[in-house]
Amino acid sequence: MRLPLAAVAGWIGQVNATSGDDREGPTSNSGTDFIREMLKQHSSSGPYGGRVQTRFPPEPNGFLHIGHAKSICLNFGAADEFGGTTMLRFDDTNPETEDERFVEAIQEDVRWLGFEPEQVVYASDYFDQLHAWAVELIEKGLAYVDDQDAETISENRGGFTTPGVDSPWRDRSVEENLDLFARMTAGEFDEGSRVLRAKIDMNHENMQMRDPVMYRIRNQHHFRTGDRWKVYPTYDWAHGQSDAIEGTTHSLCTLEFDSHRPLYDWYLEQLGQGPDRPRQTEFARLNLTHTVMSKRKLLQLVEEGHVDGWDDARMPTIRGLRRRGYPAKAIRDFAGHIGIAKVNGTHEIELLESFVRTHHNANALRRMVVLDPIEVVITNWPVDDDGMSRADVREAINNPEDAAAGTREVPFSGRLFIERDDFMLDPPKKFFRLAPGREVRLRAGYFITCTEVETGPDGEVTRLLCTYDPETAGGQAPDGRKVKATIHWVSADHAVDLDVALYERLFTDPHPGADGEDPLASLNPDAKTMKRAKAEPAIADIAPGDVVQFERLGYFARDLDDDPSSVPTMFHRTVGLRDEWANIQKRQGT
């Protein structure tokens, strides 16, 4: 479903924004939303004696993405606000797709986001208890072994307007069910030949209540329990019971699980869990324009080589965003700002970017880097006795937003690089930068005037000859003459070569896959462009993972895998300088 932009903006507008909080560590939205209202009520007078305990329950079958970040910020953030705790629980009930490497990556990502789990636990820790409880339900006549195959079970479930059909095995005796379930557990039967089902009501108006499957046979190696188990619990059977074992009070999940809530409650009731049993509450998933969030689709991008891995800077994974230079705090602030809703919608990616930009504007050091260099020779620059161009040291401000960041030295010399598109041979009226006969200011340098242009065989500009005015070192001409542009530059003899990755949207369609087409149909093959850039020497101060503003160009993150003991070699464009979110809001008249 597509929400019109205005509707999305209106919805955002209802939420209390508390971004801009500068304290260290997790920030979360302490405005009101229905979940925080509930926690407030429950923690003062509710069934849990003031206790709040949440959990974040990822399946270790992939890497976390920005959607998970919303759930993490909610679970950890809200619990923290009410003096509660949060477990990180791996929902490891599908042995075929799960793996230890995802377990490690997920923990790393949660901590990187700024949250520390009270405990790291696994649904597989509870396999014995879950199994014992299943036996208890069989003994109570509330569960049975069904010999129908998956397809038949699904067919006989009926539809919204048609009742389900009872399985011929529904009325097996308790003894027979206990015996068959024990033999399923012992590995006597083939995968798919039998399941354990709860005995609820095949005519229930809620399809989830039509004798849901609790256990299926899987002859698979589990990355933690090895070959011990031949039966594995389903999500519904494992989830609420795991919550109960851990003492979870509030089980927060996404909206598509709302029809599962009666089943969640039913299981806990049959097991005799009292009023202080966990309760499930649903909230809207995060969707972002120009982004896909399904693990399956993200996996496809990786496997088909559209990106260079899960941590590619084009990916909406936490690892991808981190490589791209998105700070954890900006992600938390974004999550807090959008708040929690009960209706699914889509947020503009420009809003997330504006949190990233705001953060870096305040914190990032400035450096001069030329992405598409053209050489400039300063013809009146002093030359030493040995015929070498003399170097001069200029002083530049590190961060105009932060006086404490101080200044740095930038070498100036008779051979410079400027941006190719800061020069035009035959400029149109509104082009104020360098052109033949035109004077501009070099930032933190001098005024220069273009006196001559050298061209190659095809008429392409190869080199600019300029003169400089030594009287303009302070950035002003003593005679008061004005220039209309200030451009950035790098001294050629001191320049550091960099590989710089520029990014566009990975999906050109703002809603990839809406209207039922394959989201990959709008994949942008040119989402990444590499440049060979020239940087001023002080780029060496930037550590891997740090973000810097390339003046006039945007924010760039030094690659995380760049060798920290040597000069930087690789940067990723995090986000441009222009606040596109502000433009969107202007267009919407908000």
Site residues, ligand ATP (CB under 6 A): 57-59, 67-68, 70-71, 253-254, 285-286, 293-295
- Smallest gap, in angstroms, from Cβ of residue 257 to ligand ATP? 7
- Smallest gap, in angstroms, from Cβ of residue 269 to ligand ATP? 23
Q: How far is CA 65 from CA 72, 285, 579, in A?
A: 11, 12, 24
Q: What are phi and psi of 570, to 5 degrees?
A: -145, 130
Strand order in the sheet with 415-419: 486-487, 439-442, 447-455, 461-469, 373-378, 415-419, 489-491
- Of 210, 295, 357, 408, which one is the catalytic site residue? 295
| Burial of 472 per CB tally in 10 Å (0-12, 13-18, 19+) | buried
Amino acid at 379: T
Nearest to 399 by CA among 573, 552, 578, 548: 548
* Residue at shortest CB range from ligand ATP: 67
Q: Is 419 a catalytic residue?
A: no
Q: Is 536 a catalytic residue?
A: no
- Of 40, 51, 59, 415, which one is the catalytic site residue? 59
Residue 22 neighbours by CB under 8 Å, 6+ apart: none
- Smallest gap, in angstroms, from Cβ of residue 265 to ligand ATP? 18
Question: In terms of CB distance, is 285 or 420 closer to ligand ATP?
Answer: 285
Tell me if 293 sits within 8 A of 552, measured CB to CB.
no
Question: In terms of CB distance, is 144 or 283 closer to ligand ATP?
Answer: 283
- Smallest gap, in angstroms, from Cβ of residue 60 to ligand ATP? 8
DSSP for residue 477: -
Question: In terms of CB distance, is 195 or 286 closer to ligand ATP?
Answer: 286
- Smallest gap, in angstroms, from Cβ of residue 338 to ligand ATP? 10
Question: In terms of CB distance, is 123 or 442 closer to ligand ATP?
Answer: 123
- Smallest gap, in angstroms, from Cβ of residue 339 to ligand ATP? 12
Question: In terms of CB distance, is 143 or 238 closer to ligand ATP?
Answer: 238
- Smallest gap, in angstroms, from Cβ of residue 317 to ligand ATP? 11
Tokens 């002859």 sit on residue: 219
Nearest to 177 by CA among 194, 165, 191: 194
Tell me if 68 sits within 8 A of 318, measured CB to CB.
yes
Residue 172 neighbours by CB under 8 Å, 6+ apart: 144, 145, 180
Q: Is 531 a catalytic residue?
A: no
Number of continuous H segments (helices) and E segments (strands) in the chain: 14, 25
- Of 170, 183, 224, 285, which one is the catalytic site residue? 285
Question: In terms of CB distance, is 306 or 531 closer to ligand ATP?
Answer: 306
- Radius of gyration from C-alpha coordinates of the chain: 31
Indicate the helix (H) or strand (E) that contains 55: strand 53-56
Question: In terms of CB distance, is 310 or 423 closer to ligand ATP?
Answer: 310
Q: What is residue 400's three-state secondary structure?
A: coil
Give me the active site residues, please. 59, 285, 295
